[in-house]
Amino acid sequence: MGSGLLRGGFKLKGFGAEISAPGLRKNACVAQALQSPDAPESLSFFSAGCELSRVGCRFVIGTRLVRQGVSSVARSAWGGGFVGRTSLDDGGGGEVEEEEEEAEWTVQDSDALYRLHGWGAPYFAINVAGHLCVRPSGGTEGRDEVDMMAVIDSLTAQQLQLPVILRFPDILHHRMRELQGCFSSAIAKFGYQRHFEGVFPIKCNPECHLLDQFVEFGFGLEVGSKPELLIALSKLSSRDGALLICNGYKDSVYVENVVLATRLGIRAVIVLEQIEELEEVVACSQRLGIRPIIGVRAKLSTKHNGHWGETSGDKAKFGLTVTQIVSVVYRLRQEGMLDCLKLLHFHIGSQISSILVIKEAMREASHTYCELARMGAPMGYIDVGGGLGIDYDGSKGHSSASVNYNMQVGAELRK
């Protein structure tokens, strides 16, 4: 029969007993322990009230149950700390007591349990009251701290029904400034002669207020469909020289709208992802008498094992092989449009966990870019397609939920 421990300084005597341990704290960890693979049979958790039933014994308590030999999941959730050990006599007549008192739960224990310092910094933390707090501007001193418990209490006091969505525009502003700053620092460090331009994919979040903030900051937009293209044109038309990257399926209407966008003062780049798209672009350009900005998406051999890693490498669905890119150059030269080819794009996936994969992709793309320039294309843009990951689990490792680099390292490598 399994062993167990209860806080409160009480004794258990035999089966069929009913005891009460008043004044003890609730803790959701009890559910995790009782549902673990190591939990004894017939042991279950019913409610936060809470009633625990085990072979005829009913424990009416309001606390956590710590059991010797719980699963590794439960052990790690409690930081590996156990307060003592007790056991129940198989015959039911034995008496058991706890051997020592558990230490009081602290804010540091909560931080270690949920790893906010790993995945949440610098925006999420636990304050001195033990509440989750948000620091929208990324400060560490807590001057702009928003106590989420206070926010929820305020909402419920106003009879607002949960759940709700809370938006923090300052987090977005801080991330944009940080991204721009990392690339600016890398440019200065290596003496790079050009500049960095951020481009936000509308498919990630098409909400109007969000797109307005990106455009106001100076970022361009990326589209992958006709509806997204129309949204982007409405947002960028008021900003001369705005950058618009156009991917996705391209029929004649899509191509025509992209080509016409140049008359609005927008740097609209139509990126070829399938070799068949080239003829539509050439025909539209000749029909309208407008010379478009053309890019090609390269299908790199570099492959990664992260999120959407199956879309990377030689078997990727989208992108042109080196042979196809060369044929694009010959076709554009034949039509007198080689000067329109100015961008090389690649995208090897999202949530790339290893910096070595990014390094290899940049090396391969750089060779392709240089060869295009040697063949006579003026070039001017290299679109690295995102992919920098987020350390979701805070481990700074190689798992698909983590990364082994930071934003500054990624920016320096891409320069």
In angstroms, the CA 63 to CA 105 distance is 12
In angstroms, the CA 359 to CA 169 distance is 32
In angstroms, the CA 170 to CA 13 distance is 58
The domain locations on the chain are 5-97, 107-157, 169-414
- Beta bridge mates, 11: 97
pLDDT of residue 150: 96
Q: Quick check: helix, strand or coil at residue 402?
A: coil
pLDDT of residue 51: 36
pLDDT of residue 238: 80
Cβ atoms 61, 50 nearer than 8 A: yes
Confidence class of residue 309 from pLDDT cuts 50, 70 and 90?
low
pLDDT of residue 7: 35
The yes-or-no verdict on residue 22 having pLDDT over 70 is no
Give the DSSP letter of residue 340. G
pLDDT of residue 415: 54
Confidence class of residue 311 from pLDDT cuts 50, 70 and 90?
low
- Beta bridge mates, 45: 52
Only one residue has tokens 């995945």, namely 119
| Mean pLDDT computed over 202-210 | 94
Return contacts of 222-225, CB within 8 angstroms, 24+ apart.
Answer: 222/246, 222/247, 223/247, 223/248, 224/248, 224/249, 225/249
- Flag the least confident range among 169-178, 340-349, 380-389: 380-389
| Mean pLDDT computed over 342-346 | 97
For residue range 324-338, what is the model confidence (pLDDT) as tens digits? 999 999 999 999 999
The yes-or-no verdict on residue 31 having pLDDT over 50 is no
The CATH code of the domain at 169-414 is 3.20.20.10
For residue range 123-174, what is the model confidence (pLDDT) as tens digits? 999 998 899 999 999 887 667 899 999 999 999 999 999 999 999 999 999 9
pLDDT of residue 290: 96
For residue range 163-184, what is the model confidence (pLDDT) as tens digits? 999 999 999 999 999 999 999 9
| 406-407-412-413 Cα dihedral, nearest 10 degrees | 70
Percentage of the chain with pLDDT > 90? 51
Asked if the bond preceding 208 is cis, omega within 30° of 0, the reply is: no
In angstroms, the CA 29 to CA 192 distance is 53
pLDDT of residue 144: 84
**At residue 97, what is the residue type?**
E
| Mean pLDDT computed over 396-408 | 84
| Mean pLDDT computed over 261-270 | 94
pLDDT of residue 14: 33
Q: 51 vs 210, which has greater pLDDT?
A: 210
The yes-or-no verdict on residue 317 having pLDDT over 70 is yes
Please enumerate in sequence order all residues whose Cβ is within 8 A of that of 130, keeping only pairs 6 or more positions apart, or say none.
107, 110
pLDDT of residue 344: 98
Asked if the bond preceding 136 is cis, omega within 30° of 0, the reply is: no
| Mean pLDDT computed over 344-359 | 89
In angstroms, the CA 355 to CA 361 distance is 10
State the chain's mean pLDDT as an integer. Answer: 78
In angstroms, the CA 109 to CA 347 distance is 40
